[in-house]
Amino acid sequence: MSDEAIAVFQVEARENLELIEQGLLDLLDRPEDRDLVDAVFRGLHTLKGSGSMFGFDALAAFTHHCETAFDRVRKGEVAATTDLVSAVLAARDHMRQLMEDPSGDYGAAGDLLLADLERAVQEADGAGPPAVVTPGLTTWRIKFDLPANAFKNGANPLALLAELREMGEARVVADASRVPPLSQIEPTDHYLAWDVTLTTDQDRATIEDVFIFVIDDMNLSIEALDEARLGASPVQAAAVAEPVEPAPAKVAAPVAAPVAVQAAAAVANDPVEASGAKTAKAVESVRVPADRLDELMDRVGELVIAQSRLTQISNSGTDTALRAVSEEIERLSGELRDTMMVLRMVPVATLFGRFRRLVHDLARETGKAIDLSTDGETTEIDKTVIERLADPLVHLIRNAADHGLETAEDRAAAGKPATGRIRLSAHQSGGEVVITIRDDGRGIDRERVRAKAESQGLIEPGAVLSDHDLLQMIFHPGFSTAAAVTNLSGRGVGMDVVKRTIEALRGSIDIASRPGEGSEVSLRIPLTLAIIDGLLVRVGQGRYVIPLGAVEECLELSLDEDLRSRGRSFISLRNSLVPYLRLREMFETGTPPELHQKVVVVSTGTERIGLVVDQIIGDHQTVIKSMSKLHAGLPTFSGATILGDGGVALILDVGHLVAKGQQQEAQMREAI
């Protein structure tokens, strides 16, 4: 099996598992919903089928058991109880493991899960397993003809006869009596008929199944001549039995009754109702591998770069024809880039969907009733951004469930409804998407935050802080207000990591909280990562890009001022001192300071520093290239870009530089 085929399978399997999970979660709310039951069953069935096709045997075998159990729900034999659905949810996670790591040895864990599942099925099954009777031998008289177009359409009567023969002892008599003479025959029409006597242990439905492709348009009569039951006693089927071959979609008539089958209604009780909408939808979209999209993005990026070189060349000459073409190409490549951006956008629904499961698990583990509502799922963000947002959001939702929401008793005491609410919403605002996580819990306890910050030495005891600044404390590294570390949160990852991740996405994070009413964390994320507006600067011989969103203002730094502040690198900016970094020194350019250095003041929302550069070249729209492995370890840079003249500029990581500036400031303070 090729790796590519396996990768394709895994992508589809992941989506399928996602759908199964969503279906199961919905079932918890609406256990009677047949459509949901069918959807989950279909998902399991597909996973089993494609799993075995691609050699994921452990996955196929495990899924088979779940499918069998769920089939009983589908047939209405057992109810979709919470325990049963939860057991299948747990099994789903196991399937995911088997899918991602097919060589792993998870047999024991799988057996435990199946045992749980079986228990849940048995508990859900008041009636007990139905008795299954092994059929004896029956002799059938089967008379049939075929549709007139059978030959033309490739129906092969010999194949049908061969199938009947495989079922048992068959005597086949052809009836050519209806074949007209040559002058009257429609040579490709079918005029033959047969009379077959078959002794078999198969039932009527299985015999009808032989004719499944032509049954709607033919005459078929199946008559039981005798029943030669061979002394087999009825056998009880196990609770989770091997599934019986799916019978054709029609109700089997009682044995020994001759039936002329006109199976127009064959599909009437098909469990899956036709939904034309689904089919129509499938036509509208084409699945493209993500890396191919990235490749296209790269090409577009290179085109934009080449185009800007062309613009430079045409602008420096006097050739108006060249300039006209250049402007046309500039417009086209701009449009192409915009189209490309839209291609990469995916709705946040794909992200939000994952959290329903998380909240379900959190509710079970904390014993709190939690209601998750989501809003603005159709808001779209760059797919790379979506992927990187998952972990921070998981952390924030865990925080809300674990620290934010009170226990049911506390809520009752506070006069709140027993069920805690977490609300996840997204909306677009300009070039940003704002994602908020709001809970109606107890809110952040300022006193505890202050006590903790003081004990950690983050603030002076008794220091006067605004409420906003106090709340910002929770983003400091290592800060955690959880009095007791629970299983869910307060472990390892802190809010500081969340903040860093968001800032790495060139986003910002903010928190608001009202005591007793709840908290709200807002993330502001740029729509796309791949192209940024930057300020192109020069330091020594090298050129660098500063993300424009972080730039507050640019100031002149005279040589005098530079020398005067040699000791402590602060500039005075409207009555406040802003620390600054001399990039020339940091990057060890080995060049002397220029006469008219500039200070670019950048901020991360709360903190700001100045960056001293030799020259500001101008605005520059930049396509970010990820750094080579060689440079990936340099935290000062977040990426690289190719300039219009073919040179390379590194993109400064503002968050990192700001942290560095603050660090320097702290050292200065100590030194004083």
Residue whose CB is less far from another protein, 213 or 570:
213
Residue whose CB is less far from another protein, 182 or 230:
182
Cβ pair 39, 23 in contact under 8 A: yes
**267 phi and psi angles, rounded to 5 deg:** -100, 0
Q: Is 155 in the site for another protein (CB under 8 A)?
A: yes
**300 phi and psi angles, rounded to 5 deg:** -60, -40
Residue whose CB is less far from another protein, 189 or 203:
189
Cβ pair 364, 403 in contact under 8 A: no
Minimum Å distance from CB 165 to another protein? 8
**At 252, is the secondary structure helix, strand, or coil?**
coil
Packing angle, helices 349-366 and 383-399, rounded to 10: 20
Answer for which of 270, 335, 447, 552 binds another protein (CB under 8 A) is 270
Minimum Å distance from CB 270 to another protein? 7
Please, which of residues 92-111 interact with another protein by CB under 8 A?
none
Buried b / exposed e along 94-132 (16+ C-beta atoms within 10 A) = bbbbbbeebeeebeebbeebbebbbebbeebbeeebeee
DSSP class of residue 453?
H
**At 95, is the secondary structure helix, strand, or coil?**
helix
Minimum Å distance from CB 134 to another protein? 22
Write out 209-239 in H/E/C secondary structure: HHCCCCHHHCCEEEEEEEEECCCCCCEECCC
Minimum Å distance from CB 7 to another protein? 10
Provide the token pair at 379.
């808001």
39-78 footprint of another protein as x/- string (CB under 8 A): ---x--xx-xxx-xxx------------------------
**Consecutive H or E run containing 658:** helix 654-671
Please, which of residues 356-395 interact with another protein by CB under 8 A?
none
Answer for which of 112, 115, 132, 162 binds another protein (CB under 8 A) is 162
**Beta partners for residue 223, in sequence order:** 141
**At 400, is the secondary structure helix, strand, or coil?**
helix
**553 phi and psi angles, rounded to 5 deg:** -160, 170
Instruction: Give the contacts of 429 (CB within 8 A, at least 6 positions apart).
Output: 524
Residue whose CB is less far from another protein, 188 or 312:
188
Please, which of residues 183-242 interact with another protein by CB under 8 A?
183, 185, 187-188, 190-192, 194, 196, 210, 212-213, 216-217
Residue whose CB is less far from another protein, 146 or 502:
146
Q: Residue 406 and residue 393: Cα distance in Å, rounded?
A: 20
CA angle 530, 531, 534 (to 5 degrees): 135
Minimum Å distance from CB 250 to another protein? 14
Minimum Å distance from CB 206 to another protein? 13
**Consecutive H or E run containing 92:** helix 82-100
CA angle 29, 33, 34 (to 5 degrees): 150
Residue whose CB is less far from another protein, 12 or 83:
12
Q: Is 292 in the site for another protein (CB under 8 A)?
A: no
Cβ pair 622, 531 in contact under 8 A: yes
Provide the token pair at 289.
């591998």
Q: Is 12 in the site for another protein (CB under 8 A)?
A: yes
Q: Which stretch binds another protein (CB under 8 A): 7-15, 415-423, 449-457, 491-499?
A: 7-15
Q: Is 631 in the site for another protein (CB under 8 A)?
A: no
Q: Is 275 in the site for another protein (CB under 8 A)?
A: yes
Minimum Å distance from CB 370 to another protein? 34
Residue whose CB is less far from another protein, 178 or 448:
178
Q: Which stretch binds another protein (CB under 8 A): 173-181, 234-242, 312-320, 523-531?
A: 173-181
Q: For residue 440, count other CB atoms closer than 10 A to its CB.
A: 22
Give, in order, the Cα–Cα distances in Å from 405 to each of 91, 299, 362, 419, 559. Answer: 29, 48, 11, 9, 56
Q: Is 149 in the site for another protein (CB under 8 A)?
A: yes
Residue whose CB is less far from another protein, 2 or 455:
2
Residue whose CB is less far from another protein, 206 or 522:
206
Minimum Å distance from CB 297 to another protein? 21
Cβ pair 439, 421 in contact under 8 A: yes
Residue whose CB is less far from another protein, 156 or 315:
156
Answer for which of 90, 109, 172, 369 binds another protein (CB under 8 A) is 172
Minimum Å distance from CB 199 to another protein? 16
Minimum Å distance from CB 171 to another protein? 6
Q: Residue 368 and residue 389: Cα distance in Å, rounded?
A: 26
DSSP-derived pairing of the beta strands 131-132 and 235-236:
antiparallel
Answer for which of 1, 265, 413, 666 binds another protein (CB under 8 A) is 1
How many residues lie near another protein (CB under 8 A)? 64
Q: Which stretch binds another protein (CB under 8 A): 99-107, 235-243, 276-284, 360-368?
A: 276-284
Instruction: Specify the length of the chain in residues.
Output: 672
Nearest to 506 by CA among 573, 587, 602: 602
Q: Is 132 in the site for another protein (CB under 8 A)?
A: no
Could you list the beta-strand ranges (E) of 317-419.
345-347, 370-375, 380-382
Q: Is 176 in the site for another protein (CB under 8 A)?
A: yes
Q: Which stretch binds another protein (CB under 8 A): 1-9, 106-114, 451-459, 588-596?
A: 1-9
Minimum Å distance from CB 279 to another protein? 5
Minimum Å distance from CB 194 to another protein? 6
Minimum Å distance from CB 288 to another protein? 11
Return the percent helix, strand and coil in the chain, to nearest 5. Answer: 45, 25, 35
Which positions touch another protein (CB under 8 A)?
1-2, 5, 8-9, 12, 42, 45-46, 48-50, 52-54, 149, 151-159, 161-163, 171-174, 176, 179-183, 185, 187-188, 190-192, 194, 196, 210, 212-213, 216-217, 267, 270-276, 278-279, 282-283, 287
